[in-house]
Chains A and B, each alone.
Chain A
C-alpha cells in the first residue's frame, strides 16, 4: 500500500521534473509519452491501491517540518474519499493528457505544457492524499500556481496573462482565509493532522466551529469559484482547452468541495456553518446557470455550467450529503471533461472560433464529436437515467430531507436551476450542432479538405478520448443507484465518512426523482422551442445585435466584474495612485530629490571655492585661523 501511494505521487512529479529539466532536448514523442505514461502509471497505482484497500491507511513518507510541538510530516491518508478522488483525478487527467498530445500537436513549447500538466496532477494528488493540513495547503497552492501558469500558457497574449493573474489573485483571497483557518486550528487543537482535528471537533464551542467552517468555506469559495469569488473561472478559459478540462472538470475546482467534505466531521456539527455553505452553493448554482444562458463563447458557457454544478456539490455538502456531493463530483468530472474535450474538438474544427452563434451544422460533419457531446449534455442537463441525473437528484433529495424554510427554499432554487441547466445545455447543443451550416463560415477555409466548408478535420485520437468519458458519464449512475433499486455501491463505500445518513423513504425519493426528471425534460422542451429547427436561424440573426437588458446582464455575469472593479479595484487604484504620486513621489522622493539637489548645489558652490587661486586659499586659511583665535578668546573670557 505504501509503495502504491508513494508511486501515485512520485510518478507525476518525476514526469513533470524530467519534462521541465530536459523536455526540450528529448524527442517530442518521448516527452509526450513520458507525461502520459507518468499519469497512466499513477492511475494504475491508484487502481491497485483501490483494489487492495481494506481500511483507512496512514503512511508517513518522511519528516518535513518539525519545530517544537509543530509536526508536519509528509503523511498520506488513504480512505474511501481520497481513494475515489485519486481514481477520478488520475483517470480523467490521464485521458486529458492523451488528448493534449493531439490538441497541442502544433505547439512549440510542449515541454513546458506537459511538465506543468504533470505537476498539476502531482499537486492535486498531494492535496487529495494529504493527511495533515500543511501538506494539503502545499498541494492547494501548487494547484493554484500550476493553474496560473497553465491559464497563462499563451502568455505572449496580454489577455491570457491577465486572466492567469486574475485567477491567481482571486483564489489567493480564499487561500488567505484557508491559511488563517489552518493556523487557528493548530493553535486550538495543537495538531494539524486532519484525522486528529476531525476527532477533536466536539471539544470546541459551537461558535469557534462555525467560524472555522466559514473560514474553510471562504477557502473553498476561492478554489471552487463560488460566490462571491467566482469571477476568475470564466476568464480562465483563456488557457488551452485541455487545461480548461483539467482545471474545471477533474481537479482544481473540486478541491474546495473536497476540502469541505474532508473537514466535514469537524464543521458538520455547526448548523450555521452548514447553512452558510448550503446558501453559498445554492445561490452560486442559480447565478451561474443564469449567466450561462446568455453566453456566446462556447467555453464560457461550459465554465459557468461548471460553477453552477460545483454550486450543487457545495449545496450537497451544506445539506450534509457528503456521499451525494462526492458522487456528483465524480460524475461531473466525467461529463464535464467530456464536454470540454468535445468543445476542444469543435474549436479545433472551427479554426479556433469560439462564438457559438457562428457555428452550426456540426452535427452532421462531426458525428463522432456530436454524439459524445450530446451524451455529456444530457448528463449536465440531468436527463433521466444519465449519471448526472442520479447524482444531482441525490443532492436535491438530501436538501429536501433537511427540511425547514431555508433548505426548502434552496430546494426550490435547485429545481429552478435544474430547468435553467437543461435550457442552456440544449441551447448550446442546438446552436453548435444544429442547423445546416455555420452561420458565418470562418474566413479561413482550410483548403476545402475533408468534408468541406471550413470544417477542419479533428484528429481521431481526440475524438476517441470522448467515448470512455461518455460511457462513464451516461452510466455513472450505476456507481450509486438509488436506494429503491438496490444498495448504492458508492454510498456503502463512503459510509464511514458521512456517518449514518438518513435514508429517504422510497416513495419520496421516487417522487422527487420524478419531479427532477420532469423539470429536466421541460428545460429541454423550452430549449427546443426557442432554438430548435427554423427558430435557430432567427436566434442567430437576433444575436448579431448587441445584447441589451437581461441578456446583457447575464452575459456579463451580473456585472460582478464591474461591481468588484467599482468596489475594490477602483479604490485600490486610487489609493495606490495617491500613495504613489502624493506620498511616494510627492513627499518621499521629492524630499530626497530636494536634499540631493541641495547637496549637489552646495557641493557645486563649495567646489567653486577650490578655484586654484592662492589668494582665496590664503583668505580661507586666515579666516579659519581667526575663527580659532576668536574661540580661544571666547574660552579665555568665558
Chain B
C-alpha cells in the first residue's frame, strides 16, 4: 500500500504527499487534544480541548474523502453537542474543579492496564486484516444521499424515531416537579 504505486484518482503525487503530512499532523493534534481533554480537571477546558480535537478529526474526514461527514462533525458534534455539554456544565455550576473530585492513582492504573490490553488487541486485529489495494476515492453528496435513502431508508426512520424518543425523554426528565408535590 505504501508507498503508493501509480497515480490514483488522477491526483498529482506532490499533493498526495502534502495530504499525507497533513493527515499525520492532524492525527497528532487529535490525539494530543484528546489526551489534554481527558486529563483536564476543569470541565469547561476539557470541552474546549475536545472541540479542538473534533475540528482536527473533521479535517481528517475530509481528507478521507468524506466531506459530508466532516461537515456534520463540525456542525453537530463540535457545534451542537459540545455546546449542549457546555450548557449543562454551566447550568449545574460545575466549572469549579476544586468542588469536583479528581481521579487518583487508584483510578488510573486499572484503566491504563485495560486500555493497554485493548489497544494491543485492536492493533493485533487490525494488522492482521490488511487486504487488497486501496480504492481511496472521494464520495460525493449525491452518491451518499442515494445510498442513504435508497438502501438505508428503514434505518433513517428508526433513527428519526429514536431522536423523537430522546426528545420526549429529555423533556420528561427535565421538567420541574409540580409545585405542591415535592419540595
> Is there contact, CB below 8 Å, between A632 and B121?
yes
Q: What separation, in Å, do the CA atoms of A633 and B123 have in the docked complex? A: 9
Residue A622 CB within 8 A of the other chain? yes
Chain B residue numbers with a CB within 8 Å of A625 are 118
> Is there contact, CB below 8 Å, between A633 and B125?
yes
Q: What separation, in Å, do the CA atoms of A626 and B107 have in the docked complex? A: 17
Residue B114 CB within 8 A of the other chain? yes
> Is there contact, CB below 8 Å, between A623 and B125?
no
Q: Mark B121-144, 1 if CB is under 8 A from A, else 0.
A: 110110011000000000000000
> Is there contact, CB below 8 Å, between A626 and B118?
yes
CB distance from B129 to the nearest CB of A (A): 7
Q: What separation, in Å, do the CA atoms of A630 and B119 have in the docked complex? A: 10
The 8 Å CB contact of A629, one of B107, B122, B128, is B122
Residue of A nearest to B107 (CB): A615
Chain B residue numbers with a CB within 8 Å of A615 are 107
Interface range on chain A (Cβ under 8 Å from partner):
10 to 19
Residue B110 CB within 8 A of the other chain? yes
The 8 Å CB contact of A630, one of B110, B121, B128, is B121
Q: What separation, in Å, do the CA atoms of A633 and B124 have in the docked complex? A: 6
CB distance from B112 to the nearest CB of A (A): 12
CB distance from A627 to the nearest CB of B (A): 9
> Is there contact, CB below 8 Å, between A626 and B125?
no
The 8 Å CB contact of B121, one of A619, A622, A623, A626, is A626
> Is there contact, CB below 8 Å, between A637 and B114?
no
Residue of B nearest to A635 (CB): B125
CB distance from B131 to the nearest CB of A (A): 13
Residue of B107, B122, B125 ringed by the most chain A CB atoms within 10 A: B125
Chain B residue numbers with a CB within 8 Å of A619 are 110-111, 114
> Is there contact, CB below 8 Å, between B114 and A630?
no
Q: What separation, in Å, do the CA atoms of A40 and B117 have in the docked complex? A: 98
Say yes or no: A629-B114 contact (C-beta < 8 A), given A636-B128, A636-B129, A637-B128.
no
Say yes or no: A629-B118 contact (C-beta < 8 A), given A636-B125, A636-B129, A637-B128.
yes
Residue of B nearest to A615 (CB): B107
> Is there contact, CB below 8 Å, between A629 and B110?
no
Chain B residue numbers with a CB within 8 Å of A630 are 117-118, 121
Tell me if B's interface is mostly helix, strand, loop or mixed: helix
Residue of B nearest to A637 (CB): B124
CB distance from B106 to the nearest CB of A (A): 11
Q: What separation, in Å, do the CA atoms of A177 and B111 have in the docked complex? A: 78
> Is there contact, CB below 8 Å, between A636 and B114?
no
Q: What separation, in Å, do the CA atoms of A630 and B114 have in the docked complex? A: 11
CB distance from B61 to the nearest CB of A (A): 25
Chain B residue numbers with a CB within 8 Å of A636 are 124-125, 128-129
CB distance from B76 to the nearest CB of A (A): 26
Q: What separation, in Å, do the CA atoms of A637 and B128 have in the docked complex? A: 7
Q: What separation, in Å, do the CA atoms of A626 and B120 have in the docked complex? A: 10
Chain A residue numbers with a CB within 8 Å of B114 are 619, 622-623, 626
Chain A residue numbers with a CB within 8 Å of B125 are 629, 632-633, 636
Chain B residue numbers with a CB within 8 Å of A626 are 114, 117-118, 121
Chain B, 76-117, CB within 8 A of any chain A CB: 107, 110-111, 114, 117
Chain A, 586-638, CB within 8 A of any chain B CB: 615, 619, 622-623, 625-626, 629-630, 632-633, 636-637
Chain A, 43-98, CB within 8 A of any chain B CB: none
Q: What separation, in Å, do the CA atoms of A632 and B117 have in the docked complex? A: 12
Q: What separation, in Å, do the CA atoms of A637 and B107 have in the docked complex? A: 31
CB distance from B121 to the nearest CB of A (A): 4
CB distance from B72 to the nearest CB of A (A): 27
Residue of A nearest to B121 (CB): A633
Q: What separation, in Å, do the CA atoms of A629 and B111 have in the docked complex? A: 16
Q: What separation, in Å, do the CA atoms of A636 and B121 have in the docked complex? A: 10
Q: What separation, in Å, do the CA atoms of A619 and B115 have in the docked complex? A: 11
CB distance from B132 to the nearest CB of A (A): 18
Q: What separation, in Å, do the CA atoms of A633 and B117 have in the docked complex? A: 11
Chain A, 292-343, CB within 8 A of any chain B CB: none
Residue of B nearest to A619 (CB): B110
Chain B residue numbers with a CB within 8 Å of A629 are 118, 121-122, 125
Residue of A nearest to B120 (CB): A633
Q: What separation, in Å, do the CA atoms of A395 and B114 have in the docked complex? A: 101
Q: What separation, in Å, do the CA atoms of A566 and B153 have in the docked complex? A: 95
Chain B residue numbers with a CB within 8 Å of A633 are 120-122, 124-125
Chain A residue numbers with a CB within 8 Å of B121 are 626, 629-630, 632-633
Residue of A nearest to B129 (CB): A636
Q: What separation, in Å, do the CA atoms of A516 and B128 have in the docked complex? A: 115
Chain B residue numbers with a CB within 8 Å of A622 are 114
Q: What separation, in Å, do the CA atoms of A626 and B114 have in the docked complex? A: 7
CB distance from B107 to the nearest CB of A (A): 8
Q: What separation, in Å, do the CA atoms of A627 and B86 have in the docked complex? A: 35
CB distance from A54 to the nearest CB of B (A): 104
Q: What separation, in Å, do the CA atoms of A619 and B114 have in the docked complex? A: 9
Q: What separation, in Å, do the CA atoms of A548 and B94 have in the docked complex? A: 103
- Given contact pairs A619-B114, A633-B121, enumerate 17 new A-B contacts (beta carbons under 8 Å): A615-B107, A619-B110, A619-B111, A622-B114, A625-B118, A626-B118, A626-B121, A629-B121, A630-B118, A630-B121, A633-B120, A633-B124, A636-B124, A636-B125, A636-B128, A636-B129, A637-B128
Residue pairs across A and B with Cβ atoms less than 8 A apart, 30 shown, are A615-B107, A619-B110, A619-B111, A622-B114, A623-B114, A625-B118, A626-B114, A626-B117, A626-B118, A626-B121, A629-B118, A629-B121, A629-B122, A629-B125, A630-B117, A630-B118, A630-B121, A632-B121, A632-B125, A633-B120, A633-B121, A633-B122, A633-B124, A633-B125, A636-B124, A636-B125, A636-B128, A636-B129, A637-B124, A637-B128
Closest 8 CB pairs of A and B: A633-B121, A633-B124, A629-B121, A636-B128, A630-B121, A626-B118, A636-B125, A633-B125
